[in-house]
Amino acid sequence: MNDFVLGKKVDLGEFTLSEQEIIEFAKAFDPLEFHTSIEAAKKTIFKGLIASGPHIFHYIYKKEWVPRFGKTVICGTGVKEWKFIKPVRPGQKIKVEVTIIGMKPEETTGGTAINWLFEFRNEKGEIVQVLQTEVVHKNP
Amino acid sequence: MNDFVLGKKVDLGEFTLSEQEIIEFAKAFDPLEFHTSIEAAKKTIFKGLIASGPHIFHYIYKKEWVPRFGKTVICGTGVKEWKFIKPVRPGQKIKVEVTIIGMKPEETTGGTAINWLFEFRNEKGEIVQVLQTEVVHKNP
């Protein structure tokens, strides 16, 4: 089916988010003060602006995952686990890999339910965010 | 602490998303064809446009949850379970309730980790989406 194989790992490259991008996303979808205000963020435990967790995922999902795999999607069924482990700051380089960690036939649609694990790492190689999501894909 | 109590349920009201809102969100963050194109969506299993799952949650989170509880947030730690159960279509009325289903002291920050369960229902009372998220809140 397409070239989906259990255990397959795909390098989605690296990216950074600017102060402006972080603030714009947060004002629209996650308006907590440590995401929307440089000044207010200084007084929080983060001591400065950090990106919204969902921003990190949606940025790379739209830019890299959808162009590669979007045409094969029948539907998404949800997110199994999504951990915001370390803060991500403006200009910080984030590397992303996605791995197929589960595959099973999906009877209603006749497709294949794939469990994708996204891993986000900082410059030191430390995990900053992980997300597992199940998506049903078309068979070839 | 504040007025957080285990089992507390809060009515976040109801809302609808228009075709234009659905398409705009999806083009920015979830550009799959059943979210971005009325014509293309007709040829999918959904037989028409449906809202992006994350759009449903972020809409009410920004509009109702953050104004009520945002000032007490120290940090978010992640999403435990997020299920997209039934499609949500333009103009469809969605009712939202959020319940505190877990509370425990969070030692690093001295706050309280609260497990929030969001439940989204359609006009028939059927669950269309559920999400559990853990957020650390300030103590009073």
3-state secondary structure of A22: helix
Task: Quote the CA–CA distance of A52 and A25 in Å, as a whole number.
Answer: 8
CA distance A6 to chain B (A): 23
Mean pLDDT value across chain A:
96
Q: Which domains does chain A have, with CATH numbers?
A: 9-17+50-137 (3.10.129.10)
pLDDT digit string (tens) for A109-121?
999 999 999 999 9
> Cβ separation of A62 and B32 shorter than 8 Å?
no
* Alpha-carbon gap, residue A105 to A111, rounded angstroms: 6
Q: pLDDT tens digit string along B27-51?
A: 999 999 999 999 999 999 999 999 9
pLDDT in tens, A62-109: 999 999 999 999 999 999 999 999 999 999 999 999 999 999 999 999
pTM (2 d.p.): 0.96
Task: Check CB contact under 8 Å for B78 and A81.
Answer: yes
For residue B137, list chain A residues with Cβ-Cβ distance below 8 A: none
Chain B residues touching A46 at Cβ < 8 A = 75
| Residue B3 confidence class, pLDDT cut points 50, 70, 90 | confident
Tell me which residues of chain B have a C-beta less than 8 Å from any C-beta of chain A.
28-34, 44-46, 53-54, 58, 61-62, 66, 70, 73-84, 109
Residue numbers in B near A66 (CB within 8 A): 30-32
CA distances to A2, A118, B22, B52 from B56, rounded to whole Å, are 30, 22, 9, 7
- Interface residues of chain A, partner chain B, Cβ below 8 Å: 28-34, 44-46, 53-54, 58, 61-62, 66, 70, 73-84, 109
What type of residue is B138? Answer: K
Q: B93 phi and psi, to 5 degrees? A: -80, 130
Provide the phi-psi class of A78: left if phi over 0, else alpha when psi is between -120 and 50, else beta: left
Report, as an integer, the average pLDDT of B63-90: 97
pLDDT of residue A110: 93
Residues of chain B contacting A84 with CB distance shorter than 8 Å: 75-78
